[in-house]
């Protein structure tokens, strides 16, 4: 990271980014770091987290903790480790997630539970781990990376849509609960974004439909009025804004970053 471009708008604050090893999480972590925050990257893949930490090139301000966000005890231990290194969490970015497609009739209980565990229960567990210290200090910023799938319905991803709708419901409920406590809670809802998750979706489409990757991309792009995929930095910029001064009155919102797909 080129520290000459840094600013100090988040100086002294500790941000945790789950799913921080790649994609939106990595882009968000980089922006928070440039804004002066100390950043803890969390995710299941320790090697990927280490690689991303090296890319950020700020060893005194970046920490990484391997954790499965679906496991209660592991989440509690991970947040304890993060707090030991950088102090209480001021900013929590719940970005860890997973998508898997299947027709509704072929969605078994294992797939259903997996989508709920990773995409919704993980948000609950991480938020529960970070919130007490925020309440004690009267300040916090929680941003849940949901999806346009939490704002509308898509075919063949009923479990994923249900989980992301749940994230938005959790966001709205908690935002009202802590509205007078100096804590804001918001959801950012990207459309199809150029990440490994998108590539996995394209691979699934090509495998199941025998269409080429270009045809699969074109089919997804037709859903976007701008006819393009979202860049991770575009999502990260919105997250950063929700964490900095001037956004204090924005809470309980689900902000679509989707090129006009959701209006």
Residue 233 phi/psi, 5° resolution? Answer: -65, -30
Strand partners, 140: 183
CB atoms under 10 Å from CB of 105, counted, come to: 6
Determine whether 154 is an active site residue.
no
Burial of 221 (0-12, 13-18, 19+ CB in 10 A): middle
Rounded to whole angstroms, how far apart are CA atoms 12 and 142? 17
Active-site hit among 154, 156, 160, 192: 160
CA distances from 104 to 99, 100, 182 (A): 14, 12, 41
> Which residues are catalytic, by number?
160
């Amino acid at each position: 990271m080129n520290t000459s471009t840094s600013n100090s708008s988040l100086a002294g604050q500790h941000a945790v980014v789950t799913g921080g090893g790649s994609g939106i999480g990595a882009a968000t972590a980089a922006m928070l770091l440039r804004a002066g925050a100390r950043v803890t990257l969390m995710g299941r893949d320790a090697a990927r987290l280490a690689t991303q930490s090296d890319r950020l090139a700020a060893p005194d301000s970046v920490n990484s903790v391997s954790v499965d966000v679906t496991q209660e005890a592991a989440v509690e231990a991970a947040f304890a480790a993060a707090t030991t290194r950088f102090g209480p969490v001021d900013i929590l970015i719940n970005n860890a997630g997973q998508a898997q497609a299947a027709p509704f009739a072929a969605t078994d209980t294992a797939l259903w539970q997996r989508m709920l565990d990773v995409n919704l229960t993980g948000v609950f567990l991480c938020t529960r781990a970070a919130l007490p210290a925020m309440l004690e200090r009267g300040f916090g910023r929680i941003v849940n990376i949901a999806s346009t799938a939490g704002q509308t319905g898509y075919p063949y991803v009923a479990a994923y849509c249900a989980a992301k709708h749940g994230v938005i419901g959790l966001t709205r409920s908690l935002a009202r609960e802590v509205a007078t406590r100096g804590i804001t809670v918001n959801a950012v809802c990207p459309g199809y974004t150029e990440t490994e998750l998108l590539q996995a979706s394209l691979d699934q489409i090509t495998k199941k439909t025998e269409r080429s990757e270009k045809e699969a991309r074109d089919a997804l792009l037709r859903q976007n009025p701008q006819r393009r995929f979202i860049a991770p930095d575009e999502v990260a910029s919105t997250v950063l804004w929700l964490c900095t001064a001037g956004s204090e009155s924005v809470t309980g919102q689900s902000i679509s970053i989707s090129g006009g797909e959701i209006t």
